[in-house]
Amino acid sequence: MIHKKSQKNLSIEDISTYAGRYDLDDITLSSISECGMPAKVAKQLIEDELNLDGTPILNLASFVTTWMEPEANDLIVQSLNKNFIDHDEYPQVEKLHERCVHILAELLNAPENQNYVGTGTIGSSEAIMLAGLAHKFSWRNQRKKQGKDASKPNIIMGSNVQICWDKFARYFDVEPKIIPMHKDRYHITAEDVRPLIDENTICVATILGTTFTGEYDEIEEINQLLLETKKHYGWDIPLHVDAASGGFISIFQDDKIKWDFQLEQVKSINLSGHKYGLVYPGIGWLIFKDESVIPNDLVFNVNYLGGNMPTYTLNFSRGSSMVVAQYYNFLRLGKQGYTRIVNNMMAVSNYLSQALTQHDRFSVLGTRRMEPVVTFVLNGKHHYDAYDISEQLRIYGWVVPAYSMPENAQDIIALRVVVKENFSLTLAQDFLSDLDKVIKKLDNSDNNTPQTHRHGKNIPH
């Protein structure tokens, strides 16, 4: 009797997840429903839809980390409900954050006798906005002190910059002086920068690991140029290094490129913890060589969370998990761990680069490659192009973007493979063999089939 009664009280969705047929009611999915649904049904419906996304592990397009150790995953879940900005309530999280800043400043050779400062951000984009603002305000304060016009700030950068630099210039009203690329050169040189410098230059932005080819700008030579400029004109123009993707690679490589705080004019550096810092998306870092670079009027003191807290960020509330995860990697891997991972990734990318260089169909772009990124182009005239190769590779599961190179070289369509720690040599060999199959298939395809052209596609991050 009891058994029968309890069965009668069961609702249809208690019996089976799909029995309620919520999945057919598409109207409730894009506007909020009156009465909601059971947790397991909601979870299942969302999971079913998310399954149509690509598999992060197979994504060779992105620099962003797609795998962490299970222990890191545990820590991430444990700190999901801690608001990072509540330093008073969660002082331990703040301690880990400060340790990360300290570790990075040391790795970047910040001089001990100067007061370096730094902060975790959502990513390099936020870090770059903050760095640019600090340089703009410093320049303006300096100009005002000298009684000079401070209405026309400019920033010098290459057209090889990531989109966040264009955003910085537009959002914060700074004139961008953009150096175009050449067909065989995708980095900027000191000679490119020289004619653009003037008294209104707030900063020169250089890149360690460009999004397009994984190369680096002439940072050391530009530093030298800025030292000369300081001597001749008295303009103390800061050099910023956007080390979003290349920073964590160079730090742990033996054949070190000179780019960090050892160079006198390098005053600020950003890195993406969620790229080769090997943490999931949601963490970037900004380090200033000396706290005097940040004008006081940009730092806000808040006390509504208890205690007095200086803040220099764009966002307020955010999760703590990725800060904890970054600290986990530092503790877990140490210098040797990071170095080994970096060496493995470089070895796999060198293997790929060599194979593609020897391949009669492809050429590899860039001679100043400093990170495990391989950018290549299709040689010769064919009835198909790099976009078609990208599309065909998808059938084999590989996500390899095709994109046009920056201004002045935009008719060159490149393919790019970003090697991450979980991309092994075996996978690289599988990839090359699938690439050959794709070429064979396209060679044999009908010459007259019109190709769908997908120009104007943005480069993935």
**Nearer to ligand PLP among residue 202 and residue 271 (C-beta):** 271
Number of residues that bind ligand PLP (CB under 6 A): 14
**Nearer to ligand PLP among residue 160 and residue 353 (C-beta):** 160
Report the residue from 133, 155, 164, 205 that binds ligand PLP according to the rule CB under 6 A. Answer: 164
Closest CA to 411 of 455, 357, 350, 345: 455
**Nearer to ligand PLP among residue 131 and residue 435 (C-beta):** 131
**Nearer to ligand PLP among residue 162 and residue 200 (C-beta):** 162
Answer yes or no: are the C-beta atoms of 257 and 249 closer than 8 Å: no
H helices of 256-408, where? 321-358, 386-395
CA atoms within 13 A on the CB side of 199: 11
Report the residue from 62, 79, 124, 200 that binds ligand PLP according to the rule CB under 6 A. Answer: 124
Nearest-approach distance from CB 247 to ligand PLP, in angstroms: 9
Residues 252-281 that bind ligand PLP (CB under 6 A): 272
In which residue are the tokens 């492809």 written? Answer: 362
Report the residue from 245, 250, 320, 321 that binds ligand PLP according to the rule CB under 6 A. Answer: 245
Q: Draw the binding track, 355-394, toward ligand PLP (x: CB under 6 A; -: no contact).
A: ----------------------------------------
Q: Which stretch binds ligand PLP (CB under 6 A): 8-16, 119-127, 147-155, 190-198?
A: 119-127
- Phi, psi of 339, rounded to the nearest 5 degrees: -60, -45
Q: Is the dihedral of CA 250, 219, 368, 118 positive or negative?
A: positive
Residues 135-154 that bind ligand PLP (CB under 6 A): none
**Residue 16, H or E segment:** none
Nearest-approach distance from CB 208 to ligand PLP, in angstroms: 8
Residues 193-212 that bind ligand PLP (CB under 6 A): 207, 211
**Strand order, beta sheet including 362-364:** 362-364, 373-378, 413-418, 402-404
3-state class (DSSP) for residue 375: strand
Answer yes or no: are the C-beta atoms of 379 and 360 closer than 8 Å: yes
Closest CA to 412 of 192, 162, 184: 184
Q: Which stretch binds ligand PLP (CB under 6 A): 23-31, 53-61, 104-112, 120-128?
A: 120-128
Listed in sequence order, the residues at least 6 apart from 242 whose beta carbon sits closer than 8 Å to its beta carbon are: 124, 128, 161, 162, 165, 205, 206, 207, 208, 270
**Nearer to ligand PLP among residue 164 and residue 342 (C-beta):** 164
Q: Draw the binding track, 60-89, toward ligand PLP (x: CB under 6 A; -: no contact).
A: ---x--------------------------
Q: Is the dihedral of CA 254, 258, 262, 267 positive or negative?
A: negative
* Interacting residues with ligand PLP (CB under 6 A): 63, 123-125, 162, 164, 207, 211, 242, 244-245, 272, 284, 461
